[in-house]
């Protein structure tokens, strides 16, 4: 029996033995080729498995690479149909940082969240770079027509004309489409949040509680006594009393109302009228896909380590300036106070919980032990530098309680006054009048106007 005898069943071989021999050789050659081919494929699969095992996939990097093409130095050589249908490019565990070739970031500076501390830290980075296009604050400290949703035609750049901005670092109300229209497509998106209770208290005392004499002479563009004085009709009330008044009197028709209701959510562009859990969480997910990093003030050290890793910063660049000492005593909440606060911070609380969880997922990706080691190092560097604590004297009341009389004016009158205040604040000239007028009109349309207020002390009994 020949080698192929076992395969004879069902076959009718020709009687010509010479032909049979050639068929046998052909069959053997085919078998050998198949063996070599499948052996090569098996080896390739094994190599791919080893390759995948040696790499840590980072989907954020992949998305950034797809969006920014070669800006991060990652070259995609095959079309990616989905995150699970193709072998994705990864980065080795030993090489965590992929540094951008050019510094570019959008920092949304939320209010009363420690955002000025982060602004100073990022400022060290941008000050060391040259040739960057920057969006300027106008009128300071705002950009893009705040408190209206950001508009590119109300923003102004320093640098070369016709080139997208590398840096936007300001108080704005987020509008993704308009921001992306002016920003470098490689820009990192950054912001910071704070515990809603702490942020709410800080806002109250900063704009109102620590300034019983009123703050209107200081800044007639940002109207820092609002909405608190407008809601209460008085120049000074206690925190607990304000909560009770705001529970029924605060509404969206009052200028700067958002300072006392979901302030952080407002800055991030959420609709202040949609107070549903479903909407707020949907917006949180959308923002999570846009922002590369949302820092949490309550976990500032961990947040700064992640920022350092993302922007390839040096240790001395992330050492925060010493904080201001507290200017008020934390409030002891009654059951009713807590109910009102939860009502006034509903969106903020959901956003904070969502992004707090997101922060700690990033910490897990960074590595718990790595984070613990680096936080310890950062704290040690802060202690070594030992900067002097800022001297900041809290303001206390030295006046009697006052009521506020309001004079009703037309929108045109408010716009005219705001234009005058903008030009005065920015030391503008007549040539700046059209720009200031457009911004003032947009601000007034979006609750950013300052009603004239006359403070009159109450008669003493």
In this structure, what token pair is assigned to residue 431?
């040539």
Lowest mean pLDDT: which of 6-10, 85-89, 130-134, 425-429? Answer: 85-89
What is the pLDDT of the chain when averaged over all its residues? 77
257 falls in which pLDDT band (50, 70, 90)?
A: very high
Q: Are strands 293-296 and 156-158 parallel, antiparallel or unpaired?
A: unpaired
Q: Give me the pLDDT at residue 234, please.
A: 87
**Maximum mean pLDDT: which of 7-16, 34-43, 135-144, 379-388:** 135-144
Average pLDDT of span 11-34: 54
pLDDT at 119: 93
The pLDDT of residue 291 is 98
Does 9 score more than 60 pLDDT? no
91-105, 163-177, 329-343, 416-430: segment of lowest average pLDDT: 91-105
CA 254 to each of CA 66, 133, 247, 447: distance values in angstroms, whole numbers, following the listed order: 44, 36, 14, 7
Q: For strand 55-56 and strand 134-136, is the pairing parallel, antiparallel, or unpaired?
A: unpaired
pLDDT value for 398: 37
Written as six digits, the tokens of 115 are 């955002």
pLDDT tens for 416-429 read: 888 888 888 888 76
- Angstrom CA distances, 36 to 4, 23, 26, 45, 48, stand at 20, 20, 16, 14, 18
- In the predicted structure, residue 414 carries a pLDDT above the cut 50: yes
Q: What is the DSSP letter of 199?
A: H
User: How high is the pLDDT of residue 252?
Assistant: 95
What residues pair up with 406 in beta bridges, in sequence order?
A: 453
Q: Quick one: pLDDT at residue 222? A: 85
Distance, C-alpha 125 to centroid of its chain: 17
Query: 267-320 pLDDT, tens per residue?
Result: 999 999 999 999 999 999 999 999 999 999 999 999 999 999 999 999 999 999
Beta strands in 71-149 (DSSP E): 91-92, 105-108, 134-136
- Model confidence band, residue 449 (pLDDT cutoffs 50, 70, 90): confident
Percent of the chain with pLDDT over 90: 50
Which one of 73-82, 97-106, 265-274, 395-404 scores highest in mean pLDDT?
Answer: 265-274
- Sign of the alpha-carbon torsion through 109, 163, 287, 87: negative
DSSP annotation of 217: T
| Cα–Cα distance list, 388 to 121, 301, 321, 324, 382 (Å) | 17, 19, 10, 11, 11
Maximum mean pLDDT: which of 77-86, 127-136, 275-284: 275-284
Q: How many residues are given for the chain?
A: 461
Distances (CA, A) of 176 to 71, 152, 173, 270, 429: 21, 11, 10, 12, 32
Residue 452 pLDDT level (bands cut at 50, 70, 90) = low
What pTM, to 2 d.p., does this model score?
0.75
- b/e sequence 354-366, b meaning 16+ C-beta within 10 Å: bbeebbeebbeeb
Give how far Cα 61 sits from Cα of 70, 102, 113, Å: 11, 16, 28
Model confidence over 39-58: pLDDT tens digits?
555 444 444 344 433 333 34
CA-to-CA distance for 83 and 88, rounded, in angstroms? Answer: 7
Establish how many alpha carbons lie within 13 A of residue 287's alpha carbon, considering only the half-sphere containing its beta carbon: 28
Taking only the tens place, the pLDDT of each residue in 144-157 is 999 999 999 998 87
């Amino acid at each position: 029996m020949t080698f192929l005898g076992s395969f004879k069943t069902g076959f009718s071989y020709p009687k010509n033995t010479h032909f049979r021999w050639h068929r046998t050789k052909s069959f053997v050659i085919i078998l050998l080729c198949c063996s070599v081919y499948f052996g090569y494929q098996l080896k390739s699969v094994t190599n791919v498995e080893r390759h995948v095992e040696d790499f840590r996939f980072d989907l954020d990097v992949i998305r950034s690479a797809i969006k920014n093409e070669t800006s991060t130095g990652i070259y995609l050589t095959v079309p990616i149909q989905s995150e699970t249908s193709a072998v994705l490019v990864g980065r080795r565990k030993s090489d965590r940082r992929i540094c951008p070739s050019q510094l570019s970031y959008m920092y949304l500076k939320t209010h009363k969240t420690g955002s000025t501390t982060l602004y100073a830290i990022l400022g060290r980075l941008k000050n060391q770079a040259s040739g960057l296009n920057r969006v300027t604050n106008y009128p300071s400290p705002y950009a893009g027509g705040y408190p209206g949703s950001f508009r590119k035609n109300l923003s102004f750049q320093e640098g070369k004309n016709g080139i997208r901005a590398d840096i936007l670092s300001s108080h704005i109300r987020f509008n993704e489409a308009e921001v992306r229209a002016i920003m470098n497509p490689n820009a990192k998106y950054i912001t910071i949040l704070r515990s809603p209770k702490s942020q709410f208290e800080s806002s109250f005392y900063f704009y109102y509680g620590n300034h019983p004499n009123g703050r209107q002479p200081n800044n007639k563009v940002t109207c820092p006594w609002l909405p608190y004085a407008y809601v209460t009709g008085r120049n000074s009330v206690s925190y607990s009393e304000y909560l009770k008044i705001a529970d029924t009197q605060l509404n969206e028709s009052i200028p700067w109302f958002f300072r006392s209701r979901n302030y952080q959510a407002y800055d991030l562009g959420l609709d202040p009228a949609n107070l549903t859990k479903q909407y707020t969480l949907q917006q949180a997910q959308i923002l999570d896909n846009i922002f590369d990093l949302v820092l949490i003030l309550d976990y500032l050290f961990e947040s700064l380590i992640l920022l350092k890793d993302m922007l390839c910063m040096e240790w001395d660049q992330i050492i925060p300036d010493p904080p201001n000492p507290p200017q008020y005593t934390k409030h002891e909440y009654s059951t009713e106070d807590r109910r009102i606060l939860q009502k006034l911070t509903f969106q903020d609380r959901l956003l904070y919980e969502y992004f707090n969880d997101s922060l700690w997922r990033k910490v897990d990706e960074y590595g718990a032990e790595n984070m613990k080691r680096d936080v310890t190092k950062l704290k040690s560097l802060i202690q070594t530098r030992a900067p002097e604590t800022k001297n900041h004297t809290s303001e206390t009341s030295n006046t009697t309680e006052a009521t506020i009389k309001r004079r009703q004016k037309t929108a045109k009158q408010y716009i005219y006054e705001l234009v005058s205040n903008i030009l005065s604040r920015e030391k503008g000239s007549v040539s700046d009048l059209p720009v200031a007028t457009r911004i003032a009109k947009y601000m007034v349309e979006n609750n950013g106007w300052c009603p004239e207020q006359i403070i009159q002390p109450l008669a003493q009994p």
